[in-house]
Structures are given as C-alpha cells and as structure tokens.
Structure 1
Amino acid sequence: MSKFIIERNIPQIGTLSASEMQAGAQRSNETIRELGGSVQWVQSYVTNDKLYCVYLGTSKDAVLEHAEKSGFPASRVEEVKTIIDPTTGE
C-alpha cells in the first residue's frame, strides 16, 4: 500500500475533548472495517483548525472514499513519494 498525507480543514478541532476525539476515532475505525482493508490509519496530528492524517491505502480513491464515508472530508490528499530525516544529510 502507498502512504498518503491527508489535510482536513475542521474549524476548532483542537478544542475537542478527549471523548469527542475518541468518538471520531471510533467512527473512522468503523469505516475502515467496512472498506475491507483498502485503507489503514497510521496516525493524525491535530492543530487548532486542521487535522493532518497519515494513511496507508491501495489508492488515492480508496483514501477519498474513507473520507467521504466517515464524514471527515479531505481538503487535500497527497501521496508520499519518499521520506527523509536528519540521517539523509549524513
């Protein structure tokens, strides 16, 4: 599967409570199960008004389908081509 970065514009997401975050994660997990393994959620980063998610998926379309069915619209989806880190510069 390919790795994707998803940007979601969700006003005030950074102010949600832990239980609200849990409910959202449960909804995402349920949708992943329904899609039968075409996507896998790796992790998400929460800012004040955006959510940046890392997903593995069989295609960009599969990631977009998850976004639509889960109710978490994707403002932007980009496929990761490579990963670099500090050791890349050594």
Structure 2
Amino acid sequence: MPKFIIERDIPDIGSADDAALSAAAEKSNSVLSAMQSEDKDISWEHSYVVGNKTFCIYNSADEALIHEHAERSGFPANTISEIKSQIDPTTADE
C-alpha cells in the first residue's frame, strides 16, 4: 500500500501539552475508525511534532483518502507527498 508523508501547518502545536496532543490523536483516530468502517483503506503510523507543524506518516490507498481525512478531522493537509523509498545509515552498507 502506498505510504505518504503529510505536512500539516498547526499553529503552536510544538508547545501543546500532553492533553492537547492526546485530544488531537483521539480526534484523528475517531475519523480513521469511521473511514475504515466505510471500507476505506487508510491508517496512521505516527507523527513528528515540530514548531508550528506536524509531519504525519500514513498508509493509504490513495491521496484522496488523506484529503478526506483532513476535511473530516479538521486537521490541514498542506503538503502530501508519496514516499517512494526509505534510507537510513545502514543503507550505506548495502
């Protein structure tokens, strides 16, 4: 399944407390659960929170489902990029 990285501009997210981050995750999970119950193939792996942005890793059948999740959850999807491959320090050893 295609994997995507989503850049979301969310003011002050980098200074959000644990309760706010938990509420955001709960909202996202709720929308994902509803979409999955509609047989839509989308899931969230994890997100990185930095400054005024989050960078989220999603598995999704297509980009349209990510836009739908953004609309339904209220979290923007400012940039969506399909991940083509992954490298790390061990890639040099191959």
TM range (shorter): over 0.9
- Cross-structure match for 2:16: 16
Match of 1:75 among 58, 72, 78: 78
TM-score by length of 2: 0.91
Supply the RMSD in Å over aligned alpha carbons.
0.9
- Cross-structure match for 1:3: 3
SS at match of 2:33: helix
Runs of 4+ with >3 A deviation: none
Match of 1:46 among 44, 49, 56: 49
Letter matched to residue 49 of structure 2: V
TM-score by length of 1: 0.95
Gaps of 5+ in 2: none
SS at match of 1:35: helix
The reply to whether residue 28 of structure 1 matches residue 28 of structure 2 is: yes
- Number of positions where the alignment pairs a residue of Structure 1 with one of Structure 2: 90
SS at match of 2:32: helix
Once residues 39 and 25 of structure 1 are traced to their aligned partners in structure 2, the CA distance between those partners, rounded to angstroms, is 15
Letter matched to residue 89 of structure 2: P
Tell me the CA shift for residue 12 of structure 1: 0.8
Letter matched to residue 51 of structure 1: T
- Cross-structure match for 1:65: 68
Once residues 88 and 17 of structure 2 are traced to their aligned partners in structure 1, the CA distance between those partners, rounded to angstroms, is 32
